[in-house]
Structure formats: structure tokens, C-alpha cells
Amino acid sequence: MSAPEKQETLQERREFLKAGAVVAGAGLASGVLVFGAAHSRPPEQAATADRRWGMLIDTKQCGDGCNDCVTACNTENGLDGKTGPQDSQWIRKLNIKDLRNGRVHELPMLCQHCEHPPCVDVCPTGASMKRADGIVLVDRHTCIGCRYCMMACPYKARSFVHEPLTEQNPEVPRGKGCVESCTFCVQRVDRDEQPACVEACNAKGHQAMIFGDLMDPESALSKALKSQASTEVRADLGLNTGVRYQGI
């Protein structure tokens, strides 16, 4: 197929996707963010600082023992789902107990997509990077696997790939010798879909996660943050995380 034809097909698919997003939006309960046509960025346009992607996680809504966000992440990104000390985990469920009163609850922990990311500060090669729209990524082409960033991250959000991998998802290249972490499913975000974890959580009916643009006052995320109290984990570090929590 020639290049222009391919472009055309791509365009058609984008249109299809937009239409699909509207239909899906109609079928979903209120409070679920569906960012449709208004947000789309053409493929030839670079991400800009006009947007900053973020997430709000309501731990009160997070289901006891539910692991759907983790499973969805593993499927989307080609992780094997093992949880040993040398296995990759981009999102994991934590159980938290307040020792003073015994209150127990759960929350998903992932890369917080910090505005001032320590992982980027310490990286000697420039592989750890923050994209213009706030998504923190590892450029595996330049990562030398020194793991400084893993030590610097206050949220234990990063993993190192110890063994050779095969059968990767074509959209999510991963390989031995590089550090990796949650990408907010950047491949999905770039085509106006939500991260896999958010989609799975909503599908399950928990609706504990809202994903969206922190810079857009009209986004469901901004509205929720404006109307309800939320916190950053380790707000004392002043990293201005892109992921916020409620109920912790």
C-alpha cells in the first residue's frame, strides 16, 4: 500500500475512533471522562505544554482485592504479571493500614508523573525524560541501565528488565537492560484513548480513576480536583505529582 493511501486509512480510522468515542460516551455513567474529538492532536504534531496529563484516584471507590487495573496494564504493555523483586510492575495494588485506628484500605500505585521528576534529575544519559505534556518516560535508546532513577524515585515506581524479552507488543517496545515504568499508556493517549487501567476500572464499575488534562479547566479531571479535596502522596517532597489521590 502506498504511503498516501496509508495516511488516508489512518485518517479514516481516526474518524471511526472519534465516532466510537462518542457512542461509548453515551453509554457510560456520568463522571467517566471521555475525551473526544475536541482533544485530538494530529499525528504529525508534537505534544505541547498546553496540556498536562494527570489522574485522580479515589481510594474509597477502589475495590477490595480488585486487581483489574493491574491486569489491564499487564495486557496492554506486555508484562508477564509476576510480582517478584526482579519482575516489572508498572502499577501495583498497595494495602495501607493506619496503625493508630486500624483503618485498612487499598490503592493502586504507579508512576506519579511528577512535574519535577527526581528520576529525570539523576539520569546521566538523558534517557529519563518528561514529555512536553507531562508524561514521564524512559527513552530506551539511550538508557544504559544504571538504575539511578530507580533509586531516586520516591514511589518505587520503576522496574529494571533483567532477562531477554520476546513477543513484545509492537506499540510497547521493552527489552533487557533498560529501566521502565508506567507511561500513562502513551500509545493510547496519543490516539485519544484512556490508559488501560482507567478503562478497566470504569468497565468494572468502580470508577476509582479519572484521567485527563490538568490544564483544561473543562476536563472531568480538573472539575473533580476543583470540587473535591485531594492529596499528593509525599506532597512534602514538592514534586507536584500528576497523579492525585482521594481518601488517603
Partner 1 sequence: MAKLADWLRLVVLAGVAAVLAVPSFQAAAGVGLPKLERGKGEKCVEDTQFMRRNHMELLKHQRDDTMRKGIRTTKHSLKGCVECHAGSQSGSVAAGKDDFCMACHVYTGTRLDCWDCHATKPGKQSFFGTGAAAGQAAASPRNPAHNQGGGQ
Which residues of the chain form contacts with partner 1 (CB under 8 A)?
1-3, 6-7, 9-10, 13-14, 16-17, 20-21, 24-25, 27-28, 34, 41, 43-47, 71-72, 75-76, 78, 129, 131-133, 137, 139-141, 164-165, 167-171, 173-178, 186-188, 190-191, 193, 196, 199-200, 202-203
Minimum CB separation of residue 166 from partner 1 in Å reads 8
Query: CB under 5 to 8 A by kind: which of partner 1, ligand SF4, none does 147 bind?
Result: ligand SF4
If DSSP codes are grouped into helix, strand and coil, which group holds residue 217?
A: coil
Establish if 155 lies at the interface with ligand SF4 (CB under 6 A): yes
Whole-angstrom Cα distance, residue 199 to residue 191? 14
Paired residues of 246 in beta bridges? 58
H/E stretch holding 31? none
Strands 128-130 and 136-138 turn out to be: antiparallel
Q: For the chain, how far is it from start to end, CA to CA, in angstroms?
A: 53
Whole-angstrom Cα distance, residue 131 to residue 245? 23
Of 32, 54, 60, 72, nearest to 205 by C-alpha is 32
Whole-angstrom Cα distance, residue 141 to residue 39? 29
Minimum CB separation of residue 110 from ligand SF4 in Å reads 8
Establish if 77 lies at the interface with ligand SF4 (CB under 6 A): no
Query: CB under 5 to 8 A by kind: which of ligand SF4, partner 1, none does 233 bind?
Result: none
DSSP string, 151-210: HH-TT---EE--S---S--TTS---TT-EE-----HHHHTTT---HHHHHHHHTT---EE
Establish if 148 lies at the interface with ligand SF4 (CB under 6 A): yes
DSSP secondary structure letter of residue 87: S
Establish if 134 lies at the interface with ligand SF4 (CB under 6 A): no
Q: Which of 69, 127, 196, 201 contacts ligand SF4 by CB under 6 A?
A: 127
Q: Which of 34, 137, 179, 220 contacts ligand SF4 by CB under 6 A?
A: 179
Whichever of 17 and 122 has its CB closer to ligand SF4, that residue is: 122
Whichever of 183 and 207 has its CB closer to ligand SF4, that residue is: 183
Applying CB under 6 A, the residues found at the interface with ligand SF4 are 111-114, 117-119, 122-125, 127-128, 136, 138, 143-149, 153, 155, 157-158, 179, 181
